Amino acid sequence: MKKYLICLAPLFMLSLNPDSAATQKKAPTVVYADDDLKPSLSQEKVEVLVSNLLSNYHFRKVKLSDSLSSVVFDNYLKDVDGNKMYLLASDAAGFEKYRNEMDDFLANGNLDAPYEMYNLFRKRYRERSTFIQDELKKPLDFNTDETLNTNREKAEFAKTPEELNDLWRKMIKNEALELKIAGKADTAIVSTMRDRYASRDKFFLKRVRSEDVFQMYVNSYTEALDPHTSYMNPKTSDRFNQEMSQSLEGIGAILREEGNYIKIVEVVAGGPAFRSDQVHKEDKIVAVAQGENGKFQDIVGWFVDDAVKLIKGPKGTTVRLQILAANSLPNTPPKEIKIVREKIKLEDRRAKKEIVTINQNKKDYKIGVINLPEFYRDFEGARQRDKDFASTTRDVQKLVEELKAQNVDGLVIDLRNNGGGSLTEAVSLTGLFISRGPVVQVKEQSGEIESQNDPDPTVLYDGPLAVLVNRFSASASEIFAAAIQDYKRGVVVGEQTYGKGTVQTLIDLNQFAREKEPMGQLKLTVQKFYRINGSSTQRKGVTPDVELPSFFAASEYGEDSQLSALPWDQIGATRYDATKVMTDKVTARLRDRYQQRLKTDIELKQLVAELDRARKAKENTTVSLLESKRRKENEENERQRKAIMKLNTEVEAEDGAVAVKDKTKKKKDIYLTECGRVLIDLTTVGKASSLANR
């Protein structure tokens, strides 16, 4: 990839100059008020530079056009006021004149339109702030039987200020009712909400700078191409680089802003958050408190860098978080968790093994499990030929050899929540289980296709193998699981994976312009992954041979939920020699045995029933603002949450459940248990099939 970019740079410098863009169309001249946010000359140059880079070197090669302009317009309006809670319908209608002009503005460095739109939003925000403070002076009334739909995704802009006032009256009442049910007194409710909105005012009106608006606008363009391409202004770029070098401090979570919330986009393997098992990808943090008894600070509406300052702290200190879990039902109160900050050690992020015993058909089976949080590789250590450099493949090789010496009946590679990592390690890890051959195909933006191969003909482990995945197994995890599936080397069990089949590279924009002032960075999608059978992992991910119940729908979480995600497609298959372990007949029999257990196994039946109820409840986003009804709604949501959690609590190991060798207490894991049962089925079904084929 570095070679590719080195070749690209000189050609680009000859053909693209942001100072020489010819003006074709201009937005109307905007008269900026003294307190308005205004664009800079540097931003205009960056706008032209980014639009040229994306038009010529993004994997999609999408040129600026009126149709693209319309998508950029919608994206930006959504970023400015996505919940339609500030602007009026007349405001949005007034912006329509720019719908098909954004492409021209991007090409010519004209920023008047996006700044005009955002400055009107700021004006409407001030009006809302005044209304909210007046509303908080009124007595709280939770005895009126009315409802509020908290899902604003398909809502329309309010036609009149009175309509918007009524919406906000209900929104304020809803927030106050949540606090009351949480146990706060009326005076404390008002005080908390005043502080909350004062904090939001500070961030929206004082902390949002011109560079933040510019970044939002440019990313409304990058998001139109794909969800993983993005622009980072100099401030964001500096923070990103610091996170890359200091990401192992604090609680071990990578955060970003999403709407008004701070969302967890990655939990660093081995960190305090990871080990607590209380914080997960896609969760949202709504408040932060210091120590055992510190007061919670509401961070709804904050910038991520300010939130990080609260969450990070000295090693050994305690931070308390209020979390809205990704799998929580609508309007479920946030849960409070406590984490002790510490530095993450590399060994805590590495592969680990255990042996679980599963009783099936009145016989105990020893199943070796290797948990792999990420595909790690110490590239610098490898370059310097350090004999002990950190490597996923080397670690797993050692663990497999130890498990073989302990005479396990089968092996599970647990890739749940593994977001990926080193492609090199994904390829070499696959090589431990197959003879030499291709593992993945990589397609360049130019159309050139290259296979990444395992050159080693030796096979470390040829026994029964299962790969356990879930909705948050992505990228390198999908490459490994797909290769095992395509070679028919083992059975893939779990949920449909995330579906990220693209590769990004990071570009320093100052490399392409003679500017002393920092211009920021562009993360650009330049490659795409394909399975050796020719199918892309993009959007579809890997569909397990045996699919287990899931709370998460592809339309809600994963690449397929992103409107601008690159499409699934197919290229030619490469030559490879599949094994006879997973024939169509074997796969069908494994599924049949699993379906039989679904009908008879009490825990599986409970899990399916509770997940079904939870999914249906999640679809209902309308809540009562009558206190008595709301309490009943919350009680039912909590009952369903506990019912699901009860299926994964600490229990004494019993026959038929996962147990540690010494029969001590262990956290029950229904998905791992069922994966083990499928693997046991493979050992018996596979033997019978093998004998029949002789």
Give the architecture (CATH level 2) of 232-340: Roll (2.30)
The rounded Cα 290 to chain-centroid distance in angstroms is 27
For residue range 34-85, what is the model confidence (pLDDT) as tens digits?
A: 889 999 999 999 999 999 999 999 999 899 999 999 999 999 999 999 999 9
Query: Are 232-340 and 351-580 in the same CATH fold?
Result: no
Q: In Å, how far are 34, 606, 631, 652, 672 from 610, measured between CA atoms?
A: 57, 6, 21, 22, 18
Distance CA(220)–CA(213), nearest Å, equals 11
Is the model's pLDDT at 650 over the cut of 50?
A: no
Please report, for the chain, the start and end positions of each structural domain, with discontinuous segments joined by +: 2-225, 232-340, 351-580
What are the tokens at 506? 């990071």
What is the rounded average pLDDT of the residues 548-555?
84
| Coil, helix or strand at residue 474 | coil
Where does the pLDDT of residue 259 fall: very low under 50, low under 70, confident under 90, or very high at 90 and above?
Answer: low
Which residues are known catalytic residues?
A: 475, 486, 500
What are the tokens at 641? 């949450």
Q: For residue 504, what are the contacts with CB-CB under 8 A and spacing of at least 6?
A: 228, 229, 523, 524, 525, 526
pLDDT at 14: 33
Where does the pLDDT of residue 249 fall: very low under 50, low under 70, confident under 90, or very high at 90 and above?
Answer: low
pLDDT at 331: 66
For residue range 78-111, what is the model confidence (pLDDT) as tens digits?
A: 999 999 999 999 999 999 999 999 999 999 999 9
Structural contact between residues 286 and 336, judged by C-beta atoms closer than 8 angstroms:
no
pLDDT at 12: 38
Question: Which CATH superfamily does the domain covering 351-580 fall into?
Answer: 2-enoyl-CoA Hydratase; Chain A, domain 1 (3.90.226.10)
Distance CA(44)–CA(50), nearest Å, equals 10
